[in-house]
Amino acid sequence: MTVYSPPSDLLAERCVLVTGAGDGIGRAAALAYARHGANVVLLGRTRAKLEAVFDHIAKETKTRPTIVPADLQHLGEDSASALREGIERDYGRLDGILHNASLLGPRNPVEHYPATDWHAVMQVNVNAAFLLTRALLPLLNQSQDASVILTSSGVGRRGRAYWGAYAVAKFATEGLMEVLADECAHAGRVRVNSLNPGGTRTAMRAAAYPTEDPATLPIAESHMPLYLYLMGPDSKGVTGQRFDAKAWQVVTRACPSA
Ligand code: NDP
């Protein structure tokens, strides 16, 4: 078990984009990043959920969040470029991306998997991460210390029956992580890693396992030490690696032996 206790100013002055920031793990990460000093760009599908996260951050911290209501289903080169221009205009920098938004899609055998759902899952879970990363790399490359986190899954490391496009997309996510990490390694400014949160009490998990008791699962907040470690300067030099939230635990600086 790895223990990490982030300082409260871990991400001070930094600007971080979180996709799927309105709910579940993305919401928890956006709040954690803001609580540790980051100006967070909150991208998600449902405006009302983003506004609620925005209000929470504005009430609790002195950071400057922004909301970007956007359906990644429709993200193209132009909208990715527009996002870069907006971040450049509003913050003048970008120090990290948490690619977190994903679609579960149907749980069917490949033989019966609808092609439209296949394309939708690949678009949201893989193509959007590629398009956003490509558009935002010029900004990340200007940062002295930037981090890209791609969200994986157990089925992105070992395929399982009936997980269809979701599993295949997570394998592609791992591939994107390795290719990008290798490309960025030489300059040493942008580190790229993948993170598997593992079974977590969220709407997606409930949809995937409807008969499971959610009370048996960890809440998203319990994974935040790893999300903070990978986004902040303590992970400088760590790149091209696959992380699992299960191996991490919460410890506060005030009580390091707790
Ligand atoms: P949730 O479904 O709870 O939240 C996903 C978020 O992504 C929501 O805010 C959702 O927006 C947003 N989103 C979905 N589709 C789009 C889209 N087309 N455009 C923009 N935003 C979108 O998922 P989790 O928090 O459970 O999952 C977060 C990540 O962790 C995912 O990548 C998932 O694959 C991964 N993961 C989760 C596990 C778990 O047990 N929960 C296990 C392993 C991996 P809205 O709320 O508006 O619909």
pLDDT at 3: 77
pLDDT at 248: 73
Mean pLDDT, rounded, for 126-138: 98
Q: Using one digit for the tens of pLDDT, what is the confidence trace for 133-189?
A: 999 999 999 999 999 999 999 999 999 999 999 999 999 999 999 999 999 998 889
Contacts for 131 with CB less than 8 Å, ≥ 6 apart: 75, 76, 77, 80
- CA angle 43–96–45, rounded 5-degree value: 10
pLDDT at 251: 46
DSSP result, 95-155: -EEEE----------GGG--HHHHHHHHIIIIIHHHHHHHHHHHHHHHSSSEEEEEE--GG
Q: Which residue from 42, 41, 147 is spatially nearest to 95, judged by alpha carbons? A: 147
Mean pLDDT, rounded, for 205-213: 97
Q: Which of 91, 113, 166, 227 is catalytic?
A: 166
Q: Is 103 in the pocket of ligand 1 (CB under 6 A)?
A: yes
Which atom of ligand 1 is the closest one to the Cα of 152? 44
Q: Using one digit for the tens of pLDDT, what is the confidence trace for 13-37?
A: 999 999 999 999 999 999 999 999 9
Which atom of ligand 1 is the closest one to the Cα of 166? 34
pLDDT at 4: 85
Q: Using one digit for the tens of pLDDT, what is the confidence trace for 48-63?
A: 999 999 999 999 999 9
Q: How long a stretch of residues is the chain? A: 258
* 166 tagged catalytic: yes
The residue to mutate among 73, 102, 150, 176, having the most atoms of ligand 1 within 8 angstroms of its beta carbon, is 102
Distance CA(137)–CA(163), nearest Å, equals 31
Q: Is 123 in the pocket of ligand 1 (CB under 6 A)?
A: no
Ligand 1 center from residue 134 Cα (angstroms): 21
Q: Using one digit for the tens of pLDDT, what is the confidence trace for 217-257?
A: 999 999 999 999 999 999 999 999 999 998 875 443 433 33
Q: Is 202 in the pocket of ligand 1 (CB under 6 A)?
A: yes
Q: Model confidence at 81, in pLDDT bands (50, 70, 90)?
A: very high
> Is the model's pLDDT at 65 over the cut of 90?
yes
Ligand 1 center from residue 152 Cα (angstroms): 11
pLDDT at 253: 42
Q: Model confidence at 79, in pLDDT bands (50, 70, 90)?
A: very high
pLDDT at 1: 66
Q: Is 225 in the pocket of ligand 1 (CB under 6 A)?
A: no
Q: Is 49 in the pocket of ligand 1 (CB under 6 A)?
A: yes
